[in-house]
Amino acid sequence: MKNLWLCFSYLFPAIILVLLTPSSVAQLSSSEGRILFQVQKLLEYPQALQGWTRWTNLCFLPPSPSLKIVCSNGHVTELTIIGNKTSPSSHNPKAGAWTSLQTLSERFSIDSFFTVMTKLSNLKVLSLVSLGLWGPLPAKINRFWSLEVLNISSNFIYGGIPQSLSSMRNLRSLVLVDNLFNGSVPDLQRLTSLEELNLGGNNLGAQFPSVGKNLVTIMLRNNSLRSHIPPQLVHFDKLQVFDVSSNNLFGNIPSFLISLPSLQYLNLASNHLSGNLSVNMACSSSLTFVDISHNLLVGKLPSCFGSVSSKAKVLYSGNCLSTEKRLNDQQHPFSFCKREGALAVKPPAKNLKKESGSGTKLGLMLGIIVGIVLIGGLLVLLVVCIFRKSKAERSHPKLDKSVANKYSTSVSPRPIGTRHIPQAMKQAAVGLPPYRIFTSEEIEDATNNFDPSNLIEEGSLGQLYKGWLRDGSVVLVNCVKIKQKGLPHSIMQQVEVLHNLRHRHTVSVLGHCIITEQEHPQTTSTVFIVFEYISNVSLRDQLSDGRKREMLKWPQRMAMSIGIARGVQFLHTGVAPGIYGNNLKIENILLDDSLNAKVSRYNIPLPSKIAHIEQNATNHIGSTNDAEKEDIYQLGIILLEVITGKQITSSSEIEELKEELENGSSEATSVIRSAIDPSLRGTYAYESMKTAVQITINCLSKVSSQRPSIEDVLWNLQYAMQVQESWTSSGNLSTKL
């Protein structure tokens, strides 16, 4: 009896603990537990879901950067899974092999996946980010009756957005950013609870979507919208963020838009908006950011921009506006906007039929004659083509097979249909003009015959000139002389890499020109590489200027850091072979007018540099892998300056700041705060900052093999940004964008 009482005394606290445990998380129903294990299998066991066993109480798993499960009354109400697969915009159009690595396997069925997922009928929050999901989003998505937040961003989901989404009346947030969606957006006006709509980074269009007037955030940047800004927006009194940049919108900017009472962030950059802005239009008192750059606007700026710019950033370069003299070099001549504006709203070809009139019969006769001649010519051409094709097939059978496979239109199961990939990949170079081959006359004209006053610098990479193209755009022209033994045409094959060096987060190549002279026994070629010109300052300049540094709060610095990482990722994985040893310094990170970060002075593997690079790789770096890790280390130094706001001039300073951050991340919160730039105080979520600090420390590891890959760096920075955005949306940030 005594032993029985002793046993009970030990068990009594445990019994009380079980009885006091809230039933909402005490035990997940067996059916929903099985569903989560099915999800684990269907997602092909991502890192976030590894380690589960049948004894794992999934409702008691601690939240992590990649997984969060919330339960109530035995049901899953919130499920967040964040993977580490990169998104479509991170890749180059010609990198055809990446799809199998970044998407789930061919066995994956998005229809089967959502059939299982929708059995979690009590879900209110569902976030499936960077998991490599591919295929068209099934209409059964509307079976989530209770869903309030849907985030399936940074995947490879293609096709149209299903019409059934418009019946999900409880939705407050819909985020489909950075996928491969195309076609029209369904009518979302019935979603009266919807406050956030983010469809950026897709190929949606052409009409502006119909949405409800209760929206607080509308993000449609980097799509294919081709319409006017709808007048219905005048009723959107709650709208705070409106971003439709990098589309094809045309027409005037409505005067009411800038005066919407709650508007804080307005981005209309890189469209075809034209006409005059009303000088007397009123600006919202809430505005903190306005970007109308790179449109076709003429006339004067609204007078209210003067008062707004004192407390907010206003960007308006790349138009045809009448501005102060110091900004004239950022504006096109009036004729440019008039010509381009006419092209932007060019009427459909069907309207031209009316002009044929009385000439129909004469045109018919001429058409018959020309047709006979063309048919004869085509027959001759067909015979020649058949002969050449058969000859090519005999000499290059393997090449023809690969080309046939690449452009096959079969409907066999693949991660992404080949017809969907090119359009999505074009987004990496969005906003850039088509790549072109320049003539020597155009190069001479652009540089004013290489006038010494246009020479910016001269060094081991050749001469760098500032130039102006005939359309008024400013460029940089890099002149590189190459001596080689061999045929003149071989240099043309070796500079093919230039066509691929186009990305939104690198200073991109717009075109090139080659002039070759034969000097026995060598061939001398001069390669003129035409780069885009970034007229703003470097990140070093921005952080060194006290007033400008104060403007760069944590969300802006996070966006810049992610941009730099994406630029480096493009150089490493977006071209083949990858480009390493990129001289990543903070002074080589340029900021455009929208404060987007662009990596400049990266390594361009031209023939004249190959021998030097190979020798350097042998003596200094050791291998391609070490070259990659060297770039990661240099990226860590940049992140260190972004976080601390301090200018680093020596390796000893790197170690001191790194040690200070390491101590802070392992001790009290106040310690890490003392190491961070004081101007960031009150603008960051602690978890966001801690994540960024940790990945920075990892990048700066003395052992190169312990440094993370660029994908790991990017994943951590994106997670830190998501944490920050969640914190900001909760009203914690006093200065919102």
Q: What is the pLDDT of residues 371-399, one digit of tens each?
A: 655 666 666 566 555 544 444 433 333 33
| pLDDT for residue 69 | 92
Confidence of residue 692 (pLDDT cuts 50, 70, 90): very high
Reading the block at residue 628, the tokens are 């990659």
Strands (E) located in 485-616 = 509-519, 522-532, 589-591, 597-599
Same domain, 636 and 680: yes
**Number of CB atoms found within 10 A of residue 508's CB:** 19
DSSP bridge pairs for 273? 251
Confidence of residue 179 (pLDDT cuts 50, 70, 90): very high
Confidence of residue 482 (pLDDT cuts 50, 70, 90): confident
Residue 492 reports pLDDT greater than 50: yes
Summarize the confidence of residues 217-225 as an average pLDDT: 93
Assess if residue 296 is contained within a domain.
Answer: no
Mean of pLDDT over the chain = 78
| pLDDT for residue 283 | 87
Q: How far apart are CA 421 and CA 425, in angstroms?
A: 6
Q: How far apart are CA 680 and CA 489, in angstroms?
A: 54
Q: How far apart are CA 212 and CA 188, in angstroms?
A: 7
Same domain, 462 and 599: no
User: What element of type H or E holds 81?
Assistant: strand 75-82
> At which of 533, 550, 570 does a domain end?
533
We report the CATH number of the domain holding residue 506 as 3.30.200.20
> Is residue 101 a contact partner of residue 732, using CB atoms and an 8 Å limit?
no
719-737 burial by CB neighbour count: b if 16+ within 10 A, else e? Answer: bbbbbbeebbeeeebeebb
Residue 566 reports pLDDT greater than 70: yes
Backbone angles phi, psi at 591, to 5 degrees: -115, 125
- Alpha carbon separation from 463 to 38, 295, 459, 590, 698 (Å, rounded): 60, 32, 7, 20, 37
| pLDDT for residue 430 | 55
How would you write 89-157 as a 3-class SS string?
HHCCCCCCCCHHHHCCCCCCCHHHHHHHHCCCCCCCEEEEECCCCEEECCHHHHHCCCCCEEECCCCEE
> Is residue 502 a contact partner of residue 483, using CB atoms and an 8 Å limit?
no
| pLDDT for residue 25 | 45
Same domain, 461 and 603: no
Confidence of residue 471 (pLDDT cuts 50, 70, 90): confident
| pLDDT for residue 554 | 92
Same domain, 603 and 502: no
| pLDDT for residue 349 | 40
Q: How far apart are CA 230 and CA 661, in angstroms?
A: 49
Q: How far apart are CA 19 and CA 276, in angstroms?
A: 71
Assess if residue 637 is contained within a domain.
Answer: yes
Same domain, 451 and 579: no
Total tally of structural domains belonging to the chain: 2
Assess if residue 392 is contained within a domain.
Answer: no
Q: Can you tell me whether residue 278 is helix, strand or coil? A: coil
Choice between 626 and 438, residue whose per-residue pLDDT is larger: 438
Same domain, 569 and 470: no
> At which of 533, 551, 570 does a domain end?
533
Same domain, 491 and 583: no
Same domain, 442 and 563: no
DSSP bridge pairs for 474? 468
Q: What share of the chain in percent tops pLDDT 70?
A: 73
Residue 248 reports pLDDT greater than 70: yes
Same domain, 641 and 500: no
Q: How far apart are CA 198 and CA 181, in angstroms?
A: 12
Confidence of residue 621 (pLDDT cuts 50, 70, 90): very low
> Is residue 465 a contact partner of residue 454, using CB atoms and an 8 Å limit?
yes
Q: How far apart are CA 496 and CA 605, in angstroms?
A: 10
| pLDDT for residue 634 | 96
Summarize the confidence of residues 176-192 as an average pLDDT: 92
Backbone angles phi, psi at 211, to 5 degrees: -135, 165
Same domain, 635 and 713: yes
Q: Residue type at 68?
A: K
> At which of 509, 533, 557 does a domain end?
533
| pLDDT for residue 88 | 72
DSSP conformational letter for 666: H
Assess if residue 541 is contained within a domain.
Answer: yes
Assess if residue 600 is contained within a domain.
Answer: yes
How would you write 145-188 as a 3-class SS string?
CCCCEEECCCCEEEECCCHHHHHCCCCCEEECCCCEEEECCCCE
Same domain, 513 and 547: no
> Is residue 293 a contact partner of residue 266, using CB atoms and an 8 Å limit?
no
| pLDDT for residue 240 | 94
Q: What is the pLDDT of residues 52-62, one digit of tens each?
A: 887 888 888 88
Full residue range of the structural domain in which residue 501 is found: 432-533
Q: Can you tell me whether residue 241 is helix, strand or coil? A: strand
CA end-to-end span of the chain, whole Å?
A: 71
Task: Name the one residue in this structure whose structure tokens are 């838009």.
Answer: 257
Reading the block at residue 612, the tokens are 């030097």
Same domain, 598 and 674: yes
Assess if residue 460 is contained within a domain.
Answer: yes
User: What would the DSSP string read from start to end of 625-637?
Assistant: HHHHHHHHHHHHH
Confidence of residue 490 (pLDDT cuts 50, 70, 90): low
Task: Name the one residue in this structure whose structure tokens are 């312990």.
Answer: 706
We report the CATH number of the domain holding residue 644 as 1.10.510.10
User: What would the DSSP string read from start to end of 567-592?
Assistant: HHHIIIIISSS--------GGGEEE-
Q: How far apart are CA 307 and CA 283, in angstroms?
A: 9
User: What element of type H or E holds 338?
Assistant: helix 334-344
Assess if residue 220 is contained within a domain.
Answer: no
Q: How far apart are CA 532 and CA 56, in angstroms?
A: 54
Assess if residue 28 is contained within a domain.
Answer: no
